[in-house]
Structure 1
Amino acid sequence: MTTPTLHINHLQKNFGKFQALKDITFDIYPGEVFGFIGPNGAGKSTTIRTLLGILKASGGQATIFGKDVFKDAVAIHSRLAYVPGDVYLWPNLSGGEIIDLFLKLAHNKHTEKTDQLIKAFQLDPTKKARTYSKGNRQKVALIAAFSTEADFYIFDEPTSGLDPLNEEIFQQEVLKLKAAGKAVLLSSHILSEVEKMCDRIGIIRQGKIVETGTLQEMRHLTRTVVKVQTVEPTPEIAALVGVHNVEVNQNGSMTLAVDSEHLDSLMEYLSKKQILSLQATPPTLEDLFLRYYDSEVQTNEQ
C-alpha cells in the first residue's frame, strides 16, 4: 500500500486547561486532495499550525514524509508549500518582488509558469504590497505556492477575498497538482469548492474528527429530498421508516426527506400510488456538514 504523505494519529493540543484538539486522526496520500471542513473554532487552523511545526502537539503523532512535524520541521518545509487564509506581505515591496522572494526562500526560481499564473490571476506585480486588497494579497501567496515545486501543499481558507473567476483558476491549479501526484490538504468553509475538488473529506467538530471518507461513502448518512405527486392519496407516507419532514404543497404535490438506505422502500410504496411527477435531489456535502452542526446545536441546548 502507498505510504501516506501526511499521517496523523490521535493528535491532541492543549492551551492550559483548554483542549483545542482532542482526537485528530487521518492520512493524506500522494495524488489526493483532502478536504478539511468544520465550523469556526473547531480546530482546523490549530491542526494546520501543528502540522507546520509552529505549535507543539500535547499528545498523539503527526508525520509528513515520515518525519516528525515538530522535530523535523526544517526538512519537511523544503518539500512543502503553504498558503494561509490571511496573507501579510512586506508593504514596501512589489507583488512581483515578494513572489520572487518566496520562490528564492523555497529554493525555486521565477519561471514561465510563474508568469502564466500572474496573468491568469490578473495580478499587477509592479504595485507595492501596501496598495493591495485582501484578494490581491491572496493571489501573491497562491502564485508563489503554485510556482513552487513541492510534494505537499497546505491551503488554509486560500480563496477568501478572491472573486469567482479567480476561485475557478485556483480549483484548476489544485487539480493539476493532483494529476501530478502531489498531496493537498484544503481547509475551506466553501463547501461547493470542497465538493468539486476533494477525493476525501474530514469533518472536524470541537477538536475531534467526527467523519472521514469520500463524499460518496458519506452520503449514506444524509437524506435525499423528494418532491412527488401521485394519483392516489398517500396517508401512510409520514409513518414510513426513514421518511422525514413531509409537507403538502399547494398544487397537491408533497416534499419530503428520506434516508438514503430507505429510498428503495419509499419508491416501492409510491409506485403503487400511480406517480404523476417525481423529482429527487441527491444529498450534498452541505447537508452532511449541517447534520453534524445541527446535532452540536441540539446537544448544547439539552
Structure 2
Amino acid sequence: MTEMIKIENLKKSFGKFQALKDVTFTVNAGEVVGFLGPNGSGKSTTIRTLLGLLRRDGGTVTIFDQDVFTATDAIHEKIAYVPGETNVWDNMRGGDILALFAKLRKNVNLDKQAELIKAFNFDVNKKSKAYSKGNKQKIALISALATEADLYIFDEPTSGLDPLMENVFQNEVKRLKKAGKAILLSSQILSEVEKLADTIVIIKNGEIIERGSLQELKSITQSKMSVTTKSELTGLREFSSVSQLQISGNTATFLLDDAGITAVMSYLAAREIIKIETQKPTLDELFMDKYEGGEQA
C-alpha cells in the first residue's frame, strides 16, 4: 500500500511539558484512519505538526515522502484540511467565501461544490456572522470535499452538525475512500469513526496506546457479557480480566478479556446461570475501557 502519511517517533514539547512522545503511525492511500483521543491527548498537536504549523522536536514526519516542514507548499497543494472550528469573515456571504477559497486553490471542482452546497442544505446568501457553528463548519467541509486532493485531514469535522448532515459527510468520506484517497479522521464521535475507519489509532497523554483495525482492537476486550444467575455476582470485582462491570441484583454486564474466560465462566457456573448473552463491544465501550482504566462499579 502507498504510504501517504508516515510519522515515526514524533516528539514535541512546550517548555517542560512533553505533548507528544514517540508518536508513530501511517495513513495509506484508500484508507481511513480514525485518530481518537480526548481533549489534551495530543491529536491537534499531531495534526498541526503534519500541516507544518509546528516544528517537531524529534522524529520524522512526511507526507507524500516529503518532509512536512521543508516541503510545506508542495504538500499543501495536494491536501485538503478541515479544522474542528471554522472562523471566517463576518461580513462576507457564505457563497463569496466559498468562491474565494476556490480561487485560492487550483484543484476545486465547482460542479462538485454546487452538489455539496445542495447536499449540506447550505444557504450561500447569508453573511457568515448570521451562521451557526454548524453552518460555519459547512463552509470548511464543502470547500475541502470539493477539492481534488490526494490526502484529506479532518479534525473534528462534524462539530456542530446535525445527524442528517453528519450522514452527508460520512457518505462523502466513503466516496473519497473508494476513489483511493487517504483520509485521517480525528473525531470524538465514536459512532462516526466506527462506521468509517479501517484503522484506529488511540492516543493518550501524547502516546499511542493502541493501533490496529477495529476488529483487532475489539479483540483486546474480546466479549461484552450480560449474565443473570441465581446467586449474587459481587465476586466478579476480583477478576482482573473483567472491566466496566455493572451489577443490578443478580444480573451483571461487563467486558471480559480472552485470558479470563475459563476462570470467569467457572465462577458463573457455580452461581447457576439463568441467562447469558455475549457480543462484541462497541468502539465506545472499547474507548472508555482504555481511557477510564476499566473502572468497575
Cα displacement (A) at 1:72 = 0.1
Q: Does 1:148 align with 2:147?
A: yes
Cα distance in 2 between the residues matched to 1:246 and 1:74: 51
Q: Normalization by structure 2: what TM-score?
A: 0.89
Q: Give the alignment of 1:69-148 within 5 angstroms.
A: 69-148=68-147
2:13 alignment partner, SS class: strand
Structure 1 window deviating more from structure 2 (260-269 vs 218-227): it is 260-269
Q: 1:236 to 1:99 in 2, by over 3 A?
A: closer
1-side partners of 2:183 and 2:199: how far apart?
11
Task: Give matches, 1:199-214, under 5 Å.
Answer: 199-214=198-213
Give the equivalent residue in structure 2 for 1:259: 257
After TM superposition, the structure 1 = structure 2 runs for residues 185-224 of structure 1, keeping only pairs within 5 Å, are: 185-222=184-221, 224=223
SS at match of 1:5: strand
Change (3 A) 1:295 1:272: closer
Partners of 2:28 and 2:165 in 1: how far apart?
27
Distance 1:245 1:70 in 2: 43
1:166 Cα deviation (Å)?
Answer: 0.6
Residues 278 and 74 of structure 1, relative CA distance in 2, 3 Å threshold: same
Q: What is the alpha-carbon distance in structure 2 between the residues aligned to residue 246 and residue 81 of structure 1?
A: 42
Q: Secondary structure at the match of 1:123?
A: coil
Q: Is the 8 A contact 1:237 1:243 kept in 2?
A: no
**CA deviation vs aligned residue, 1:119-164 (integer Å, no higher than 9, x gap):** 1111001111222111111001101111000000000111111111
Number of matched pairs: 294
Identity, % of aligned pairs?
Answer: 50
Matched, 1:167 2:166: yes
Q: 1:46 matched to which residue of 2?
A: 45
Question: 2:43, 2:53 → 1: CA distance?
Answer: 14
1:287 aligns with 2:285: yes
* CA 228–155 in structure 1, closer or farther in 2 if over 3 Å, else same: same
Query: Structure 2: any 5+ residue segments left out of the alignment?
Result: none
User: What does the per-residue CA deviation read over 1:20-61, in whole Å, with 9 as the maximum and x for residues that have no partner?
Assistant: 212110000001010111111111111111110111111100
- CA offsets per residue over residues 182-236 of structure 1, 9 Å max, x none? 0000111111111111111111111111111111111122263322235x76889
For normalisation by structure 1, the TM-score amounts to: 0.87
Aligned partner (choices 275, 278, 299) of residue 276 of structure 2: 278
| CA shift for structure 1 position 274 | 7.2
Structure 1 range deviating more: 287-296 or 186-195? 287-296
SS at match of 2:10: strand
CA shift for structure 1 position 265: 6.6
Which whole-Å CA distance do the structure 2 matches of 1:256 and 1:185 have between them?
A: 31
* TM-aligned CA deviation for residue 106 of structure 1: 1.7
Q: Per-residue deviation at 1:237?
A: 7.3
Q: Deviations over 1:228-261 (max 9, x none)?
A: 235x7688974778346776644x5444442244
Q: Are the structure 2 counterparts of residues 122 and 258 from structure 1 closer, same or farther at C-alpha, using a change threshold of 3 Å?
A: same
* TM-aligned CA deviation for residue 295 of structure 1: 3.6
Cα distance in structure 2, aligned partners of 1:247 and 1:122: 43
User: Does 201-210 or 105-114 show the bigger shift?
Assistant: 105-114
Q: Secondary structure at the match of 1:194?
A: helix
Letter in 1 for 2:4: T
- Structure 1 residues 83 and 254: alpha-carbon distance in aligned structure 2, compared to 1, 3 A threshold: closer
Structure 1 residues 244 and 200: alpha-carbon distance in aligned structure 2, compared to 1, 3 A threshold: closer
- Aligned-partner SS, 2:96: helix
Matched, 1:55 2:58: no
> Does the 8 Å CA contact 1:191/1:286 hold for their aligned counterparts?
yes
Shift of 1:108: 2.8
Distance of 2:181 and 2:231 partners within structure 1:
55
Give, in angstroms, the shift of residue 111 of structure 1: 2.4
**Where in structure 2 are the equivalents of 1:19-30 lying within 5 Å?**
19-30=18-29
Question: Could you tell me which residue of structure 2 aligns to residue 300 of structure 1?
Answer: none
- Closer/same/farther in 2, CA of residues 155 and 244 from structure 1, 3 Å limit: closer
Q: Does 1:157 align with 2:156?
A: yes
Amino acid at match of 1:288: L
Once residues 9 and 246 of structure 1 are traced to their aligned partners in structure 2, the CA distance between those partners, rounded to angstroms, is 37
> 1:241–1:135: structure 2 CA closer, same or farther, 3 Å change rule?
closer
